[in-house]
Amino acid sequence: MKDLKVVGHSVVRSDAFAKATGAARYTPDMIPVDALVAKVKWPDYPHAILKKIDVSKAKALPGVEAVMLAKDLPGKNGYGPMVADKPVIADGKVCYEGDPIALVAAVDEETAKKAVDLIEVEYEVLPAYDNPFDALKPDAVIIHPNSPFAEEGNICNTVTVTTGDVEKGFAEADYIIENDYQTPYVEHTYFEQDICIAEYDWNTGGLTVTSPNQAVFQGRRHMAAVFGIPQSKLRSLCPYVGAGFGGKEDACLDVTAVAGVLALKTKKKVVFQLNREEVFRTTGKRHACWIHHKLGIKKDGRITAVQAETYLGKGAYVSMSGFKAPAYAVIQRTAIYAAGTYYCPNYKTKSVGVYTNTPYGTAFRGFGVPQATFAMECQMDEAARLIGMDRIDIRRLNMLKAGDMMVTGTYAMAERGLGLGECLDKVRAKSGWDKPFDHGKWPYLRGRGIAAFMYGTGIPLMFEGACVFALINTDGSVQLNYSSTEMGQGIATTGAQMFAEEMGMKFTDIEVHFSDTLSSPDSGPTVGSRSTVIVGNAIRDAAQKLRANLFPVAAQMIGAKLGFTVDTRDLTADDSVIHIKGRPDIGLTYAQVVAKAYISQVPLAVIGMWYPPHPGFQQPSGHGPTMHTFAYGVHYEEITVDMETGMISVDKSVYACDIGKAINPLIVEGQMEGAAVQALGWGVMEEELFDTKRRNGKMENATFHSYMIPTAMDVPEHTSIIVECPNELGPWGAKGIGEPGIIPGAPAIRNAFLDATGISAGKIPLTPYEVMNLVEADQKKKAEAKAKKAPAKKSAKKEG
């Protein structure tokens, strides 16, 4: 086996120099000086009927070039990453703070702002709901009445999974643990605000749109209908992106729709940029979840049954929560991951997405799996505590092993990499799990906790697959084009690493052109932790095809020099030289070979492609193949709790992830570490709040000083451990790591809190206020229990 020269090495990213010197251009750095500035009239209420809109004063303001209402739109007044349900401009009704009432394009920002302020609107205010339960009350106002995108009333969609027989499973259990869990709406806080520069194309009557966008082709499919032009006349491109975390799969469509329709109307360039407050109020969030979870276990720790009912606060539009077949997404994940990474023979889940008057629930790192895993990992600690079993041992006992049936009816395969056991062992050793632990002294109590995860690579939908384009120039330099978005996860670098390795070329000979519908075929959206594997395999395929074209030419040329026939199997390539195996000095550079191929009717450009095993998901069973491989991980967190102020300090973190093969280890660690800190934020400080009492349901905390994300002082001393249990279908064994890093951190912190205080928390974030509520309730309960003694019970049921 050849030693890998590029893959598996922490090569410096190809964009590092540009980003370290300020030369890197993002969309906000490219605004043309002659672009009109767009602004939107946002609603004053998150739920209201629009009785009257008067734009006459805005239209009359000098410097205003266009004012648009719903009736002025050129194409479909509906779009979304999955279904076309979100209006470009509100037509008669607004369902959340981000529904545009009117669009303005003016010569500069000041004029556009003035024009928006001159628009007068009369509302009939409706009650605004920020959670599923208020929206499901019998007297609740229906947010989307008579809509093809609502299953019934305010229910968007229901997904179920049934395996085995949970009644039987619970009957077999020695203990039943039943609890409620709650996770909040969360903000991505990607640093680059959403923006689109739309330019009318006078040659074609079409548009070029530039926007930070995780899915240029997916977006184009929807935007073309909005603009009323064929997809082939819409060029969608995206430069470096200042992070996305899933949010820029949909928010980009919001800004593109506005900028694009105004560009078409004015036949000019239009820029529409959201300021930070607008990003908070109008773009998509992580779905808030309310989970009722029931776990059955035997006294030896084995799981017999899991039953979970999940309600998702799905926001005002479908976005990425999923709708009917085949568009299952976040809702589906909450239904299939409720037993986490464990073997569970009897399983029944129901997940219900309910419309609320909050920003649409969209993709956010983990895509519903963090929420589902949170509940299960909390339950596992409750189980361990109840039966007196070590918390690592109980996870090891139940973890999916080769041949185990998963809750979707498919099977865990060793060939796809089952590395959870190794992760558990390494975390156990590195964290000092078996050493005595200092639990601190009142009021500073200390605790430690762990959580485990599994997370599938890719999108379990029928279109999953990737195409890339590669061409080699006559000077031996390569253009490798794929539609993935470089948003910090390093795909522009790792894609080149994989191509270089497969070709036997120098990493620096490969130039990647990314995320532009002009330059490449559809490599699929940059989501689902899929790029390394699915796009990577297509990149390998392209390299193999190009080699297959060039090696015969090289064999002939080398043979001519040596005076006898050389077979292509006698050749290999290293450092951009094709040579006789073992003799790098007997060969030719790729440039020399290409020069000959060019005049020998040998194609110098290829399309690479790859498709995973075809997914399928049936309802109501929830059975079918979803993802072909899964990443695994274990996160250990140590905390200190100030029991008098509620402040939690996360002190130490040890994190192991099985990612199959690290194409670039430093990049993989960076993904794990960034995600781990997002998990910390989710666990102790991040939540979107909506003020139904004083602000008619508008968002309360829409700035960086009212929505807290971790600073360098909030993060623990951290160790990342890469585990590699290869996926036979992944490039060099790789699996995806973009998302799953975020999954176990929050339940690990919650479990550490349980270890420190003996208090079972059901809700995150564990802000100081939430902690003090729990501490007070616990102290009250202890005082009451002292007064009367309760008999020991078989089933453990707690107030949340």
Partner 1 sequence: MSEFFKPKTVKECIDLLDQYGSKAMIVNGGTDAVEKINTGKAQPEAVILMTEMKELKKITVKDGAVHVGGAVTYLQMLKNAEIKKNQGMMIAVGAIGSPPVRVMATPAGNVGTAAPSADCTTMLMGSDAKIHVVSKKEGERVIPIDKFFVKTYVNVLKPEDLITEVEFPAMQPGMGSGYVRLTRRKVQDIGKVLVSATIEVKRGRCTKAVIGLGALNATAVRAYSVEEALVGLSRKEAQEFCRSGLPKEAGLRPSRYTHYKEITTPVALERAVMMAWDQAEGKVK
Partner 2 sequence: MAVVNFKLNGNDVTIDVDAKERMIDTLRKRFHLTGAKLTCGTGDCGACTVLYNGKAIRSCTLLTCMCDGQEIVTIEGLMPMNGGKLHPVQQAFMEAGAIQCGYCIPGMILTTVAFLNENKNPTTAQIRAAISGNLSRCSGYVKIIDAVKLAAKRMREGA
State whether residue 33 is helix, strand or coil. Answer: coil
Our finding on whether 19 is near partner 2 (CB under 8 A) is: yes
Our finding on whether 697 is near partner 1 (CB under 8 A) is: no
Our finding on whether 243 is near partner 2 (CB under 8 A) is: yes
Our finding on whether 240 is near partner 2 (CB under 8 A) is: yes
Rounded-to-integer distance, Cα 537 and Cα 482, Å: 12
Rounded-to-integer distance, Cα 175 and Cα 173, Å: 5
Our finding on whether 242 is near partner 2 (CB under 8 A) is: yes
Residue 735: name the closest of 538, 548, 457, 443 by CA: 457
Rounded-to-integer distance, Cα 326 and Cα 266, Å: 38
Least separation, in Å, of the C-beta of 491 and partner 2? 11
| Tokens coding 135 | 């929206």
Residues in contact with partner 2, shown as a per-residue x/- string from 173 to 212 under the rule CB under 8 A? ---------------xxxxxx-------------------
Identify the residue among 146, 203, 601, 711 touching partner 1 (CB under 8 A). 711
Pairing of strands 648-658, 717-723: parallel
Residue number with CB closer to partner 2 (53 or 666): 666
Residue number with CB closer to partner 1 (81 or 765): 765
Instruction: Report in angstroms the alpha-carbon separations of 20 from 13, 16, 17, 510.
Output: 11, 6, 5, 21
Write phi, then psi, for 425 (nearest 5 degrees): -65, -45
Residue 667 contact partner, candidates partner 2, partner 1, none, CB within 5 to 8 A by sort of partner: partner 2
| Options 26-34, 448-456, 632-640, 766-774: segment touching partner 1 (CB under 8 A) | 766-774
Least separation, in Å, of the C-beta of 671 and partner 2? 8
Residue 689 contact partner, candidates partner 1, partner 2, none, CB within 5 to 8 A by sort of partner: partner 1
Our finding on whether 646 is near partner 1 (CB under 8 A) is: yes
Query: What is the footprint of partner 2 within residues 276-295 (CB under 8 A)?
Result: 276
Residue number with CB closer to partner 2 (24 or 405): 24
The answer to whether the Cα torsion of 459, 626, 333, 351 is positive or negative is positive
Residue number with CB closer to partner 1 (313 or 646): 646
Task: Tell me which DSSP letter residue 411 carries.
Answer: B
Query: What is the footprint of partner 2 within residues 703-732 (CB under 8 A)?
Result: 703-705, 709, 711-713, 715, 717-718, 720
Instruction: Report in angstroms the alpha-carbon separations of 385 from 215, 640, 786, 790.
Output: 45, 20, 21, 19
| Tokens coding 477 | 């330099």
Pairing of strands 175-183, 195-201: unpaired
DSSP string covering 58-116 = HHHSTTEEEEE-GGG-SS-S-B-SSSS-B-SS-SSEE-STT--SEEEEESSHHHHHHHH
Our finding on whether 651 is near partner 2 (CB under 8 A) is: no
Least separation, in Å, of the C-beta of 226 and partner 2? 28
Contact 370, 194 (CB under 8 A): no
Our finding on whether 647 is near partner 1 (CB under 8 A) is: yes
Contact 468, 534 (CB under 8 A): no
State whether residue 591 is helix, strand or coil. Answer: helix
Our finding on whether 685 is near partner 1 (CB under 8 A) is: yes
Residue number with CB closer to partner 2 (647 or 666): 666
Our finding on whether 241 is near partner 2 (CB under 8 A) is: yes
Residue number with CB closer to partner 1 (165 or 778): 778
- In the block, tokens 């080769």 appear at 402
Residue number with CB closer to partner 2 (702 or 761): 702
Instruction: Report in angstroms the alpha-carbon separations of 442 from 651, 752, 760.
Output: 17, 16, 18
Identify the residue among 605, 666, 708, 796 touching partner 1 (CB under 8 A). 708
Residue 769 contact partner, candidates partner 1, partner 2, none, CB within 5 to 8 A by sort of partner: partner 1
Our finding on whether 24 is near partner 2 (CB under 8 A) is: yes
Identify the residue among 508, 776, 780, 795 touching partner 1 (CB under 8 A). 776
The separation between CA 221 and the C-alpha centre of its own chain, rounded to angstroms, equals 21
Residue 157: name the closest of 169, 138, 144 by CA: 144
Residue 433 contact partner, candidates partner 1, partner 2, none, CB within 5 to 8 A by sort of partner: none
Our finding on whether 146 is near partner 2 (CB under 8 A) is: no
What contacts 73, CB < 8 A, 6 or more positions away? 88, 89, 226, 261
| Options 13-21, 138-146, 321-329, 338-346: segment touching partner 2 (CB under 8 A) | 13-21
Residue number with CB closer to partner 2 (22 or 791): 22
Contact 538, 545 (CB under 8 A): no
Residue 484 contact partner, candidates partner 1, partner 2, none, CB within 5 to 8 A by sort of partner: none
Residue 19 contact partner, candidates partner 1, partner 2, none, CB within 5 to 8 A by sort of partner: partner 2
Identify the residue among 14, 307, 626, 767 touching partner 1 (CB under 8 A). 767
Rounded-to-integer distance, Cα 584 and Cα 2, Å: 14
DSSP string covering 596-646 = HHHTTT---EEEEEE--SPP---TTT--S---S-EEEEEEEEEEEEETTT-
Rounded-to-integer distance, Cα 139 and Cα 328, Å: 29
Residue number with CB closer to partner 1 (273 or 493): 273
Q: Is the peptide bond before 148 cis (omega within 30 degrees of 0)?
A: no
How many residues comprise the chain? Answer: 800
Our finding on whether 113 is near partner 2 (CB under 8 A) is: no
The CB density around residue 121, as the number of other CB atoms within 10 Å, is 18
Our finding on whether 8 is near partner 2 (CB under 8 A) is: no
Least separation, in Å, of the C-beta of 776 and partner 1? 7
Contacts to partner 1 by CB under 8 A: 644-647, 649, 685, 689, 705, 708, 710-711, 713-714, 767-769, 772-773, 776
Q: Which residues form the interface with partner 2 (CB under 8 A)? A: 10, 12-13, 15-26, 28-29, 188-193, 240-243, 245, 275-276, 487-490, 666-667, 669-670, 673-678, 703-705, 709, 711-713, 715, 717-718, 720
